[in-house]
């Protein structure tokens, strides 16, 4: 591209296509003819029919665009990053979280803080886990880094609150044990991709 073309700030003026609107009427007779033609062309009735069709489709065809928000909600993308959820293992109901601390490490706004201990089975468990949603920027790194798909982004996006700092505890985000059968597998940020099986290499057991 030459410098001249760069310097031309009137971008697009050269390529405009003029719409064919016909010639403007010159004499009074031409003006009169144009008025008569437009009067009997019926364009106004086309407009009426368009709105009537829209009304019939909205009323009887289910083409109403209004969502009555607090009562109805639009479906959100699985990749939407809203308030976090803590998932359980489907079979045993145990926490998926293994207390590895990767989410706390990777969190760029330092809003996750956790503490772990060994339980009676010498299994590591989370003793303290809070997310400060006043600081959280919902970047999704925690969900992406989690090796167990334990912390994920759920569908709760209505998070207006009275205070800036809004702490959420581990139990608040955890799937309730009686709602375990309703727990949705997370297919959003950091989830296993649908073709993961093809991509993984079979572990050679020969040796």
Query: Could you list the residues that contact other proteins (CB under 8 A)?
Result: 35, 44, 47-48, 50-52, 54-55, 57-59, 63-66, 68
Question: Measured from the CB of residue 25, what is the shortest distance to other proteins in angstroms?
Answer: 14
Beta-ladder partners of 118? 124
Nearer to other proteins, 46 or 206 (CB): 46
Taken in order 189, 141, 177, 100, the sign of the CA dihedral is positive
Q: Are 106 and 151 in contact (CB under 8 A)?
A: no
Longest dimension (CA), the chain: 101
Nearer to other proteins, 64 or 169 (CB): 64
116 phi and psi angles, rounded to 5 deg: -130, 165
Question: Measured from the CB of residue 75, what is the shortest distance to other proteins in angstroms?
Answer: 19
**Dist CA 160 CA 155 (whole Å):** 14
Nearer to other proteins, 18 or 29 (CB): 29
Question: Measured from the CB of residue 54, what is the shortest distance to other proteins in angstroms?
Answer: 6
**Dist CA 65 CA 59 (whole Å):** 11
173 phi and psi angles, rounded to 5 deg: -90, -15
Question: Measured from the CB of residue 123, what is the shortest distance to other proteins in angstroms?
Answer: 52
Question: Measured from the CB of residue 16, what is the shortest distance to other proteins in angstroms?
Answer: 25
Question: Measured from the CB of residue 22, what is the shortest distance to other proteins in angstroms?
Answer: 19
**Dist CA 24 CA 153 (whole Å):** 61
Nearer to other proteins, 41 or 117 (CB): 41
Nearer to other proteins, 64 or 192 (CB): 64
Q: What one-character DSSP code corresponds to residue 62?
A: S
Nearer to other proteins, 49 or 157 (CB): 49
Q: Are 83 and 159 in contact (CB under 8 A)?
A: yes
Which residues touch 78 (CB under 8 Å, ≥6 apart)?
186, 187, 188
């Amino acid at each position: 591209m030459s410098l001249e073309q760069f310097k031309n700030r009137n971008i697009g003026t050269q390529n405009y296509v003029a719409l064919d609107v016909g010639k403007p009427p010159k004499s009074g007779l031409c003006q009169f003819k144009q008025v008569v033609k437009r009067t009997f062309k019926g364009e106004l009735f086309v407009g009426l029919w368009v709105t009537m069709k829209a009304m019939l489709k909205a009323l009887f065809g289910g083409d109403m665009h209004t969502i009555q928000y607090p009562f109805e909600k639009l479906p959100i993308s699985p990749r939407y990053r809203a308030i976090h959820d803590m998932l359980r293992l489907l079979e045993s109901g145990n926490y998926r979280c293994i207390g590895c601390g990767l989410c706390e490490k990777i969190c760029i706004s330092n809003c996750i803080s956790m503490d772990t201990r060994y339980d009676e089975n010498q299994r590591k468990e989370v003793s303290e886990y809070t997310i400060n949603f006043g600081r959280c920027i919902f970047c999704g790194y925690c969900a992406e880094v989690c090796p167990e798909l334990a912390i994920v982004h759920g569908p709760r996006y209505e998070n207006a609150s009275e205070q800036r700092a809004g702490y959420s505890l581990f139990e608040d985000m955890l799937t309730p044990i009686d709602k375990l059968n309703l727990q949705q597998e997370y297919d959003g940020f950091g989830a296993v991709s649908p073709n993961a099986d093809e991509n993984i290499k079979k572990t050679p057991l020969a040796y």
